[in-house]
């Protein structure tokens, strides 16, 4: 039974990651076509070819290893005399093609957010509407009608920002800034109510309520955009946590770990209703696609952000970095990236089997 669950989770992870990766590569593909760049192959997956067909000048393939995909353009990694080669296009066009994948992932997050938010009866805000009896937040000086604007220096725009900032906060020292009657008021460091989890960590307890507003078409669009932007900020802050050592290997997840979380989220949702389960799955997909979009734009070798860095250098100096040297750097980065994915996926499987 345990083995079947592992296989099922892997399949779920592969399918969801495949869809998100397809959308990412579609961004590169469409911008390349719009820029009149020759696309030699559009592939989903890596490694040996499983299936493929050719339409026009482009080969479309499905490859064995479900760990990525690529949009291979003429003259992308080698010299080419073709006037439609990637390297023969103006720098600004190449920049648009390179960033298109990450941008498309974030756009997908926005589209999914629209779909998820569309069924809500009310949108929560960051304005306080009331307090529970004995509220620590009220004792700290927050009043009804106040807007939470900063928590430990983290700017607050939506209730999602409130949730993230409080989840990262030490309940004994939470720096609060509110807006009251149009004025910013710094309440200093305050103590908030908390609950202790089974692993001993303390998390801030919600002893307050926030104002809800009725959806309108404009509010739906604005809210979905704000929440997508909030997810981007959360990814960036989480990356900072990894770099500073706040988060470790067990806080990361690959396809298997993500599939496990999706399955758990769906199971929790089914306890309420089928629509709640679907909503939880969509939220996980939003987190994955936004995460992929942001991470892929980081200035690291083998990622789109690394290629973008070389293009910016070329735009400033008017001299491209020799392709063979850029290729070496990306190759090393790719090997390290694959190694990291193997370690994370192995850790995911270990935790799943041992129940960690």
Q: Which residues are catalytic?
A: 25
Measured distance CA(311)–CA(337) in Å, rounded? 21
Among candidates 138, 120, 141, 122, which has minimal Cα distance to 130?
A: 138
3 state SS for the chain: CHHHHHHHHHHHHHHHHHHHHHHHHHHHHHHHHHCCCCEEEEEEEEEEEEEEEEECCEEEEEEEEEEEEEEEECCCCCCCCCCCCHHHCCHHHHHHHHHHHHHHHHHHHHHHHHHHHCCCCCEEEEEEEEECCCCHHHHCCCCCCCEEEEECCEECCCHHHHHHHHHCCCCCCEEEEEEECCEEEEEEEECCCEEECCCCCEEECCCEEEEEECCCHHHHHHHHHHHHHHHHHHHHHHHHHHHHCCCCHHHCCCHHHHHHHHHHHHHHHHCCCHHHHHHHHHHHHHHHHHHHHHHHCCCCCCCHHHHHHHHHHHHHHCCCCCHHHHHHHHHHHHHHHHHHHHHHHHHHHHHHHHCC
Measured distance CA(106)–CA(24) in Å, rounded? 9
The answer to whether 43 and 69 are in contact (CB under 8 A) is yes
**Which two tokens mark 199?**
């692993």
| Residue 188, beta-bridge partner list | 176
Contacts 24+ apart (CB under 8 A), 314-317: 314/91, 315/91, 315/92, 315/95
The answer to whether 262 and 284 are in contact (CB under 8 A) is yes
């Amino acid at each position: 039974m345990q083995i079947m669950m592992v296989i099922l989770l892997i399949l779920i992870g592969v399918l969801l990651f495949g869809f998100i990766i397809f959308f990412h590569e579609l961004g590169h593909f469409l911008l390349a076509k719009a820029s009149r760049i020759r696309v030699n192959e559009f592939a989903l997956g890596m490694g040996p070819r499983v299936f493929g067909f050719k339409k026009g000048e482009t080969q479309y393939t499905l490859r064995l290893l479900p760990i990525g995909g690529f949009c291979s353009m003429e003259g992308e990694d080698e010299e080419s005399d073709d006037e439609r080669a990637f390297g023969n296009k103006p720098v600004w066009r190449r920049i648009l093609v390179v960033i298109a994948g990450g941008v498309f992932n974030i756009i997908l997050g926005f589209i999914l957010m629209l779909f998820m938010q569309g069924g809500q009866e009310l949108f929560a805000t960051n304005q306080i509407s009331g307090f529970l009896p004995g509220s620590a937040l009220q004792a700290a000086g927050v009043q009804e009608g106040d807007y939470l604007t900063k928590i430990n220096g983290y700017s607050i725009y939506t209730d999602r920002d409130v949730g993230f900032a409080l989840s990262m906060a030490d309940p004994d020292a939470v720096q609060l800034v509110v807006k009251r009657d149009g004025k910013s008021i710094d309440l200093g460091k305050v103590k908030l109510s908390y609950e202790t989890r089974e692993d001993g960590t303390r998390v801030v307890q919600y002893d307050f309520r926030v104002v809800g507003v009725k959806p309108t078409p404009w509010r739906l669009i604005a809210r979905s955009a704000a929440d997508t932007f909030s997810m981007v900020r959360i990814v960036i802050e989480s990356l900072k946590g990894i770099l500073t050592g706040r988060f470790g290997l067990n806080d990361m997840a690959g396809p298997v770990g993500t599939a496990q979380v999706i399955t758990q989220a769906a199971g929790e949702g089914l306890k309420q209703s089928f629509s709640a389960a679907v909503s939880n799955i969509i939220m996980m997909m939003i987190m994955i696609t936004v995460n992929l979009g942001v991470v892929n734009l980081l200035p690291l070798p083998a990622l789109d952000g690394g290629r973008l860095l070389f293009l910016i250098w070329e735009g400033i100096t008017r001299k491209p970095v020799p392709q063979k040297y850029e290729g070496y750097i990306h190759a090393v980065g790719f090997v390290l990236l694959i190694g990291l994915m193997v370690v994370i996926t192995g850790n995911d499987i270990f935790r799943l089997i041992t129940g960690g």
